[in-house]
Amino acid sequence: MISSYETAANLFAENELCRQFIETSPDAIVIIAPDGEILAHNTKARKLFGYQDKPILPQNVLETYRDPADREKLLASLLKYGFVQEFETELLTQTGEYITASVNVSISELDGRKVHIATVRDISARKAAEEDLKKSESKFASLFEAASDAILLLNKTGQLVGANQAAVKLFGYSKKEFLELSFGSLSPSVQPAGGVSAELFAESLSEVLEGAKKQLLWQSQAKDGSLLDCNIALNMVEVSHEVLIMCVVSDLSEQQRIQARMKLDEIRFEALSALSRMNESSLNSIFDYALEAAVSITESEIGYIYFLNKDETVLTLHAWSRSVMPQCSVAEIPDGYKVEDTGLWGDAIRLRRATIINDYAGCPHKSGTPEGHVPVRKHMNVPLINEGRIVLLAGVGNKRTDYTDDDVRQLTLLMEGMWNVVCRKRADDALRSAYYSMEQKVLDRTEKLSSALADLKKINSDIKRESIQRREAEKQLQASAGRLSLATRAGGIGVWEWDVAGGILIWDDRMKQIYQYDPDEFDGSYEAWTNQIYPDDRKKVEYTLSETIASGGHFDFEFRIIWPDGEIRNIKTSALAIYDADGNVQSVIGINLDVTDRRRLEERLRRFKRIISVTPDLVSLINADYEYVMVNDAYVKSFGKPREYFVGHNLGELIGHEAFEACSRQKIDAAFAGETQVMEAWFDFPEVGQRFLSVTYQRVDSEDGDEKFVAIAGRDVTAMKVAEEDRQHIFEVSLDMLCVADYEGRFVELNPAWENTLGWSEEELKCQHWIDLIHADDKAKSIKIMADLLSGAVIRNFENRYLCKDGSWRWISWSMHADPDQEKITAVARDVTMQKRLMDDLKRLASTDPLTGANNRRCFFDRAKEELDRFKRYGGSLCIMMLDIDYFKRINDTYGHDVGDIVLKELVRCAHEALRTSDVFGRIGGEEFAALLVHGDARSALQVAERVRRSLSELEVHTSGKVIKFTVSIGLTWISRDTPSIELAMKHADRCLYKAKESGRNKVVSNC
């Protein structure tokens, strides 16, 4: 019996035409029995399924389906319709990979038996491309909606087919409303520069459809009828196989407002700069200048300044602006007003904020003005608040246009700048007065000290002897401290790292020595370390470590460990947690130092210092009956009594029982109980007069411990007390920020100027680390300066930015000194924010032409000389170009100087676009400009000059409904290594410029 497979094979062998058709087919062809048996296939089928090296495919087609349910769906459709077209499914290849295939199946007969003839095509690449297309369209839609500029999509006729959210916000139409509009609906009938909007846009649309890209200055119209000055960019795009016009609309109104604000900022800066130079002027002159500047900067006609008393109830007039008095005919102008009696102009005080009234006549709450008062049309005033109190009220009026928040800002900043100058002047005057007063006090004190000098000479020899003894003791103490320092430096530091996730500790050899571990015995486990920590310290250590990991940063503390032999050791550790990009802790790294010997030595030194501390000055010993047992020589000499006067006598009898019970007895009893007592007070001595003593009460036991005494040591700290009082006075009144900090960067003491300047209270500053308040860009250099300071350097005038409580930043100038003995840092900090701003603005104004923004004459020559020096040193090429506007006087005479200024600005903008980034361009004077062309040969320089001339001749300046065109003449000269100076090269270029003028203008003349 012949099988179906053999029958199909014989058919192909006998029918050459059938075989060639199947073999040459571009698709895979498979003949399949109804039960799924593969009867025949072509070469393309073997290639598609990856069976090139095998003569046949799998026996049954079911083996190739990824989802057998797809086979059932295909058979159902085949049974119903008799054929299946473009059925998509996933099929398994010989390599184990799946392909997406499109299958066409029809039913046929072979020797009277039904068979399925299937063509299979691999569409994996097509499906992937379709998916990429969907993602691309989705990405375009997301970018379209997220764009900050308004974007409109138009068809070829200019009808809107889409708009993003920014367009909805700009024009006020909903997306649905946009679809009913054309671009012409969003424009006025005529553009300001001239021309019908519809005709201009149709012309631009035609050019874009031909492949061009267009960018236009355009006036659009919003839904509410308001006009918008815009920049529109037109570009042809293809979206979902449809050609559309993408119109990007950029609103220029904000840019125009920024330019106007910058101009006002420049005027205000000039006024503040002038105010900062009025240190020697009177306060009235400062106020008068600021008032006139306020009128000018707000473009007002009138202005005034009133001062407020401390409880903010009475206004006192300083002055009206100069322009007011000739217009005012009020019989008698009051010097002051009660705030409660003021009308609208007093609302700024009652509300504690600026007020604006742009329709004074129509305001229903006005109280009116007295007869003869200057007519008021518009009014604005601002209260100046200093340290929570309104100190003055500044107002302006009768601006031609409405007052805005920008006017409030300019007037407020001007008044604040003026007040800073006033406060600085008052502070300087106060300091000068304080200095003279302090100098007189010093003279008086010097006289008193001179009178006491004779008495001090009497005991000078004894002081010298005791001073020698003290120096000898200090030498011994320094020797001991030196030995202690050498012993400390000799100690090694152990380094460790803890892998938190793996729970593994990595120790270096020194760590193992510190913990007395054999190098081969330490297993690196966390428990191996914690088991050796002293039990009372274990919880503290683990808590500190976990807190560091949770909160970030580092820790630095001491704990105890137990050696294998039972000895307890003190360990100082410092560690830092390391985190990954997601904020998860990776590891903790740190160091250990065995400080046991250091701690023991410090304890011995402390005992030694206590002994030394009671020896130099007034020392006495009191027994349990409050009787003197011993007094030293200094004690005897200070009181002018023999030793027998004290020894054996009761302390209460000598100083009086009332004074004894009130003070001395309580402190002596506390000292007998083991509590050391200290007090400071003024004392009257027969021999040396009134002195300020620091008195210490401390228990001293006899050698056998049977008897107890109290040692009373009094140290003369009069000079220190007086100096401290003087220092504290200066500390409190200084306008500079004075502080004392420890070596860890924590504030210990601050004067009130800190809170006045930065807003932080003393308690808030003491709770913060100094580095936390420094600007991120200044931290690295600030840390380096601190390292230099602690290494012995004296820091003067170091500047960084410090954070204020309100979130702003202030520039601070520091002068610092470190005291290594007390581990304290003394610093004087001064707020130099205003100076920094003035210097930055001065630098900018010193190098920039204020009208056009180009380099000014001085800056251009400085840059040109630098390039000439570089050219002579390293070679290259250099050309200089002089440029002058042709018939510029006609423009000024015809349109006015304000339009001439606009032409100059547009010239600079256009020239910058035409020049290369390496070229130097500047305004030399009037309508004359110059450019230094760096790099390139004479030919390229001539090309650049010609490009500048052509760009300027094509430039159109639109202003007040007019279009202004102009030309320029250019002179170009080559600079050689023999050229002695830029000035000489400029003369050569100037000659070429005038040749261009004489030969007809609007051309480039070169001698290159």
Q: What is the pLDDT of residues 758-805, one digit of tens each?
A: 999 989 988 888 888 999 999 999 999 899 988 888 889 899 999 999
> What token pair was written down for 730?
């200066």
pLDDT at 723 over 50: yes
pLDDT digits 0-9 by tens, 215-225: 888 889 898 88
What is the rounded distance in angstroms from the CA atom of residue 771 to the CA atom of residue 793? 19
**How buried is residue 826: exposed, middle or buried, by Cβ count under 10 Å (0-12/13-18/19+)?**
middle
In a domain, 475, yes or no: no
pLDDT-derived band at 57 (thresholds 50, 70, 90) equals: confident
CA proximity to 507, closest of 538, 534, 537, 528: 528
Contact assessment for residue 580 and residue 586, using Cβ atoms and an 8 Å cutoff: yes
> What token pair was written down for 210?
């031909």
Single pTM value for the model: 0.31
pLDDT digits 0-9 by tens, 65-99: 888 888 888 888 888 888 888 888 888 888 888 88
In a domain, 683, yes or no: yes
CB atoms under 10 Å from CB of 226, counted, come to 11
In a domain, 478, yes or no: no
pLDDT-derived band at 584 (thresholds 50, 70, 90) equals: confident
In a domain, 802, yes or no: yes
Mean pLDDT of 308-315: 89
DSSP E strand stretches across 123-197: 150-154, 160-163
pLDDT at 480: 45
Contact assessment for residue 847 and residue 855, using Cβ atoms and an 8 Å cutoff: yes
In a domain, 442, yes or no: no
SS3 35: coil
pLDDT-derived band at 920 (thresholds 50, 70, 90) equals: very high
Structural domains of the chain, count: 7
Contact assessment for residue 345 and residue 379, using Cβ atoms and an 8 Å cutoff: yes
Question: In angstroms, what CA-CA distances link 874 with 171, 610, 877?
Answer: 57, 72, 10
pLDDT at 701: 79
Max Cα distance, the chain (Å): 151
pLDDT at 488: 37
Same domain? For 855 and 829 the reply is no
Angle, in degrees to the nearest 10, between helices 460-490 and 596-613: 180
pLDDT at 1: 36
Place of tokens 């006020």: 172
What is the rounded distance in angstroms from the CA atom of residue 380 to the CA atom of residue 625? 82
pLDDT at 873: 87
Same domain? For 298 and 426 the reply is yes
Distance spanning both ends of the chain, measured CA to CA: 103
In a domain, 785, yes or no: yes
CA proximity to 647, closest of 630, 634, 626: 630
**How many H helices and E strands in the chain?**
31, 38
CATH, residue 301: 3.30.450.40
Say which of 927, 928, 954, 956 is annotated catalytic: 927
Quick one: what percent of the chain has pLDDT higher than 90? 17
Place of tokens 């130092």: 593
Same domain? For 808 and 827 the reply is yes
pLDDT at 292: 86
Same domain? For 866 and 899 the reply is yes
pLDDT digits 0-9 by tens, 10-56: 555 555 656 676 777 778 888 888 888 888 888 888 888 888 776 66
Quick one: what percent of the chain has pLDDT higher than 70? 84
Is residue 927 flagged as an active site residue?
A: yes
In a domain, 886, yes or no: yes
Range of the domain at 630: 615-721
pLDDT at 879 over 60: yes
pLDDT at 267: 67
700 or 944, higher pLDDT: 944
C-alpha neighbours within 13 Å on the C-beta side of residue 746: 7
Given 570, 597, 624, the domain boundary residue is 597
pLDDT-derived band at 486 (thresholds 50, 70, 90) equals: very low
In a domain, 767, yes or no: yes
Same domain? For 877 and 995 the reply is yes
Given 395, 410, 432, the domain boundary residue is 432
pLDDT at 971: 95
Same domain? For 823 and 790 the reply is yes
Mean pLDDT of 452-467: 60
pLDDT-derived band at 608 (thresholds 50, 70, 90) equals: very low
Same domain? For 706 and 591 the reply is no
Same domain? For 715 and 753 the reply is no
Mean pLDDT of 710-714: 85
Contact assessment for residue 972 and residue 992, using Cβ atoms and an 8 Å cutoff: yes
Same domain? For 122 and 251 the reply is no
Same domain? For 889 and 999 the reply is yes
CATH, residue 88: 3.30.450.20
Same domain? For 549 and 638 the reply is no
Mean pLDDT of 505-513: 87
Same domain? For 227 and 113 the reply is no
Given 781, 807, 838, the domain boundary residue is 838
Of 319-323, 848-852, 951-955, 998-1002, which gets the smallest average pLDDT?
Answer: 319-323
CB atoms under 10 Å from CB of 477, counted, come to 14
Contact assessment for residue 747 and residue 827, using Cβ atoms and an 8 Å cutoff: no
| Residues 6 or more apart whose Cβ sits within 8 Å of residue 284 | 318, 319
687 or 487, higher pLDDT: 687
Q: Which residues are bridge partners to 650 per DSSP? A: 627
